[in-house]
Structure 1
């Protein structure tokens, strides 16, 4: 049976759908833009403040509004045209990129007068927009695929696209900032957001899935939360990613590593930011050809543990090239976890509930990078940069150990391409 599946598996099946190609193109452009923006903003803020806590506050400024609006955003994605939400949100992100570009112009004295506060304000607004975008994108993608047997393939290529943008975006941002200045970098950011908006505009609107059990907003939100917390497999997979990224994320401190420890400039920071995506892209492509089937849960646990080990070794490294390799390996391990978790949620969640379930997932995982950035900045302020990274890596290993013991259904989880996960 497995041999027959491998013989008939088409790794490019979902890419043959025109609207899915538009979707991944739009996602590529918006992710490139956000990654370029993150590098520029991070370097700019640290250059102005020279304070590691300011980098943590940058993550918090985006995470708080995203979390606050998440549940309502999920409800809205199940009640309103998902394409309409996406178009409005990307338009807001375009305005945010334009504002950051304006701040760098000679005619603007905003940063000279107010310091980094205007940048934090734009990040706050973009956090609100991204809080609405996550559930809408998550729920919209299956409507472009239709066939559930293609879900895993779609998730793999969507993840590959995201990681490819995460790979090239930071490098482009660092190089543009280093050689052409912040104005050119922010102009590229705004252009890419505009291209994303154009690609989304060419995708047709889709009717909302039929809901046989209509509810008011409060009960609707409760039902989404109950669904997640009532499913041990989904809950444990989400929780594992949440705490691993929360404690193991060293990305927020990369400007300090690049500047003070590894002694490289914004160009080097771009490559450091891109390194995890190198590993992620390579792993995602491998998984497109060889989807995970047996022992998916055990592989997920081992890979998150490998992620934690990489973070510990990165904290100890003073060699730029060794640090790049470690970050790339951490991305490869993380890619497996992301694809397994996303496949589970898409497969096990009813179509009419995907917006709300995605919003819960966003609260757990979608903002964990930003909250992890605050945790990293805060612990770096208290105990120093290197001890903070070591602490995060060790805590990731502790989380894996506790999850392995407590989540018995995740340990025996298996995945079949396009099929409901088998728990026994």
Structure 2
């Protein structure tokens, strides 16, 4: 393991790309926390938070397949650079909007949707590019490190955003985010384009190739199914955290951001603590299914009226499960897919993750009518049953696929 990590450390392109991801992801989750705070300040309904999550992540469903196809058709690094520029413009425009002081919840919803589209394309292109940037022997290590960085950003982003809010206004924060985002172009300016071989590109050309490949490969298909249903039913502690923090626990801005970041802290801790084990797991499908069930369990615990401290603890341990959940499905989908198809499989991955906003919206609407606690418990129980059913149905999830 040490040998592989040293190889990654010596890979200057991997390092520069990882630094760029660190800045981009931190800004993205800072933006999400700020928008979440502003929306919960304008509305007290669970459905408003559900709609926020829905609009933020629904582009993963609506544009996931398209973004995956784009990533396979055009140079991935060029797409990444284009998204950097557009994201910077988005931050500058949001800064101006907050400066003029005419905030409405509808505009925030629109901005959230735009941010989701940019995030969808960026994620597909970054992971596909990363998988081709390193050698196959170090792939699982690079993916694990990428997950660690993302979880670090989930923790840092909201806390940094609210910490800055004590010093400067939100519009100033977004202005600086725009500048920092543009600096990513300098960070990755020397990275190679990594163009695919023409014959391989032609062999796997076509929008439907990715779907056909996923259907034939039962491990990928079952992974995508658990990923979809898990995102729909198992992430209540994440989707309803803004509502619980603002309207039930009456958190201050700092407490609110810390509560939201607990998932990231848990996932970061899990990714680091379990790193030696994660890279050695040879039944990632089975571990992935178990982690999905554990997420449902923590969502169930989240449904009870807990203190602020206990709510943070539950979200933290839910984050620990997310570390394994994220690592396992990412490794399966990338390692079991030929390079020319990875963008489209990442698009299908985003399509599955897109069930998260659908679940959040239905959970929020259900919470308005039946109470948020009972709704979360029903979602959690259903998620466990479906995951067990898929695990039994697909034996491919239970077999070894990595010997080293």
* TM-score (normalised: structure 1): 0.88
Residue 321 of structure 1 corresponds to: 309
For 1:147-158, what aligned pairs fall within 5 Å after superposition?
A: 147-158=135-146
Match of 2:164 among 167, 176, 190: 176
For 1:16-415, what aligned pairs fall within 5 Å after superposition?
A: 16-105=10-99, 108-111=100-103, 115-145=104-134, 147-177=135-165, 180-212=168-200, 214=202, 220-250=206-236, 251-290=238-277, 291-365=279-353, 367-415=354-402
Cα distance in structure 2, aligned partners of 1:397 and 1:27 = 33
Single out whichever of 286-295 and 236-245 deviates more from structure 2: 286-295
Cα distance in structure 1, aligned partners of 2:41 and 2:74 = 42
**1:221 aligned counterpart, secondary structure:** coil
**1:293 aligned counterpart, secondary structure:** coil
Give the C-alpha shift of residue 76 in structure 1: 1.8
Give the C-alpha shift of residue 166 in structure 1: 0.7
Cα distance in structure 1, aligned partners of 2:145 and 2:57 = 26
Work out the number of aligned pairs and report it: 402
Partners of 1:246 and 1:375 within 8 A in 2: no
Cα distance in structure 1, aligned partners of 2:344 and 2:208 = 9
For 1:6-25, what aligned pairs fall within 5 Å after superposition?
A: 10-25=4-19
Cα distance in structure 1, aligned partners of 2:372 and 2:149 = 32
Give the C-alpha shift of residue 388 in structure 1: 2.6
Single out whichever of 255-264 and 227-236 deviates more from structure 2: 255-264
* TM-score (normalised: structure 2): 0.92
Partners of 1:39 and 1:170 within 8 A in 2: yes
**1:263 aligned counterpart, secondary structure:** coil
Cα distance in structure 2, aligned partners of 1:102 and 1:393 = 41
Give the C-alpha shift of residue 382 in structure 1: 2.5
Give the C-alpha shift of residue 261 in structure 1: 2.2
Cα distance in structure 2, aligned partners of 1:267 and 1:389 = 26
Q: 1:65 to 1:309 in 2, by over 3 A?
A: closer
Cα distance in structure 1, aligned partners of 2:71 and 2:84 = 15
Single out whichever of 43-52 and 159-168 deviates more from structure 2: 43-52
Partners of 1:29 and 1:192 within 8 A in 2: yes
Please tell me the root mean square deviation across aligned C-alpha atoms, in Å. 2.2
- Where structure 2 has 5 or more consecutive residues not aligned to the other structure, the ranges are none
Cα distance in structure 2, aligned partners of 1:189 and 1:50 = 28
Q: 1:287 to 1:152 in 2, by over 3 A?
A: farther
Partners of 1:249 and 1:376 within 8 A in 2: no
Single out whichever of 49-58 and 149-158 deviates more from structure 2: 49-58
**1:201 aligned counterpart, secondary structure:** coil
Q: 1:213 to 1:253 in 2, by over 3 A?
A: closer
Partners of 1:294 and 1:414 within 8 A in 2: yes
Single out whichever of 312-321 and 376-385 deviates more from structure 2: 376-385
Give the C-alpha shift of residue 351 in structure 1: 1.0
